[in-house]
Amino acid sequence: MSKNIEYIDWINAPHWTSKLALGSRGEYFQFTCSWNNRDQSWSISIATLDEEILIQNRKLVLETNLFDYCYSYSRPDCLLVPLTDDLLIDRIEKDHLNNKKVKLYHIPLDNPILYAASSNSSSGDNIEYITLPNNLYTNSEGMNFVVGGLEEGTSFQGVEYKTLFDNLLYQNDRTNFTSFSIDSIPNEIEVGGKIEAGEYTAEFTIDNKGLVKESTLNLKFNDIFLKNYLPIEAPINFNLSNEITSNLPVEHKFYISAFNRNGVSFGKFYRLNFKYRIYYGEYTEDIDDNGWDNPMSVLRATELKNNLQDEYQFLAIKNGGGNYKWFCFPVALGQNYIFYDIETDITVVMDDPKEIIINNKYGLNIKYYCYRTFYEINKDLTIGIKPKAQE
């Protein structure tokens, strides 16, 4: 059995509202559509003419019914499902509905498997047939965490459920990115630093390349596509239209992905973390006595950190120079920490912290706590730092 169905005529505007007749009874509903620049997606709201909200700001996702999880008695007896016959489309972009590469179908609920969809609802011409895949799984949203054999960021494109569960439970014949790097973009940078806008090059390698579906290579920065539907060839040249900078700790993620021949995506992250700089080492009783613009730079070691919980190596100074152990970190990382000897688990007694304000090399003004051991310690020492237990 088949039945004529229609798709919603899309208005070429980033925000529009229309009255639509939905369901078998042809009742009118208010349909509002908005393009969300932040996450690059269409948001849909539907309400009755009496202003009862049925769905609000629902993201438009391929092969997903807008009325899923709508339990109102006022909802129409239909599905509203965006569909495409272009296998390369796994995410709805702004122009897809205007150019009809994706259509939002209005589907009666009496036969959800096979429909004849008219692309010209007034004349009935140009009939095309749509089959809703009731035995395939599609989800263009990347997974938020690792599940079984599937990594964070994995998405699905018309995957048989057996294949889906095989990938969850087993890891045989997996296709993976074995490396992914970006020239001139480090994994860590001090707060206040910046990555300039401009041209960059990403390098990658893939194992089992013969199992990869052609022209499915994508590159994203956070949630924005930089390149998509590329051939499976390295390197990738791309453009950053805006500089990347932050005065606070934050993580940005580049993500490279492709689909294997079963329709399961695989990918790898390249992470750019803005971090605070810490200083530690051995010195005399007063770190302010060196006359430097940044007195902490006299200390032997420095690292980029956003979490102080770790182990730090301190040395015995043989020929004078001071055997007080100093540890300096930004006030923004808090103050409730315990310093302890890793070997004995005994607390290392520290003097009250000294406050020092500096401009880092990027000109960012930062206040530091500088802790010093209460006594000189004339030996090598590994000090652990952990937060105090909350009472």
pLDDT, averaged in runs of 10, over the chain (391 residues): 63 92 87 91 93 90 84 82 85 92 80 35 38 59 74 76 67 80 97 97 92 91 92 95 96 94 88 98 86 91 96 83 90 94 96 95 96 94 90 56
| H/E segment holding residue 234 | none
CA-to-CA distance for 304 and 210, rounded, in angstroms? 40
pLDDT at position 2 is 34
pLDDT at position 3 is 38
pLDDT at position 226 is 95
pLDDT at position 67 is 86
pLDDT at position 390 is 64
- Token pair recorded at residue 21: 């007749």
pLDDT at position 162 is 65
Q: Cβ(213)–Cβ(259) under 8 Å?
A: yes
CA-to-CA distance for 169 and 137, rounded, in angstroms? 16
According to DSSP H, which parts of 141-204 are helical?
161-169
Q: Cβ(247)–Cβ(236) under 8 Å?
A: no
Domains of the chain: 4-134 (no CATH), 138-273 (2.60.40), 274-387 (no CATH)
pLDDT at position 170 is 59
pLDDT at position 338 is 96
Q: Cβ(202)–Cβ(217) under 8 Å?
A: no
**E-state strands within 76-216:** 78-83, 103-108, 114-118, 127-131, 136-139, 156-160, 176-182, 188-190, 194-195, 198-207
Q: Cβ(150)–Cβ(236) under 8 Å?
A: no
DSSP class of residue 99?
Answer: T
pLDDT at position 362 is 96
What's the maximum distance between 2 C-alpha atoms anywhere in the chain? 96
| H/E segment holding residue 270 | strand 265-283
CA-to-CA distance for 324 and 216, rounded, in angstroms? 58
CA-to-CA distance for 332 and 319, rounded, in angstroms? 36
CA-to-CA distance for 149 and 155, rounded, in angstroms? 13
Q: Cβ(251)–Cβ(273) under 8 Å?
A: yes
End-to-end CA distance of the chain: 68
Phi, psi for residue 209 in degrees, rounded to 5: -60, -25
DSSP class of residue 163?
Answer: H
Phi, psi for residue 167 in degrees, rounded to 5: -70, -35
Q: For strand 244-245 and strand 188-190, is the pairing parallel, antiparallel, or unpaired? A: unpaired
pLDDT at position 38 is 84
Does the predicted TM-score (pTM) go above 0.85?
no
pLDDT at position 115 is 34
DSSP class of residue 373?
Answer: B
Q: Cβ(360)–Cβ(318) under 8 Å?
A: no
Residue 199 zone, left/alpha/beta (φ > 0; ψ -120 to 50; rest): beta
Map tokens 């309400």 to a residue.
47
Map tokens 């994508």 to a residue.
218
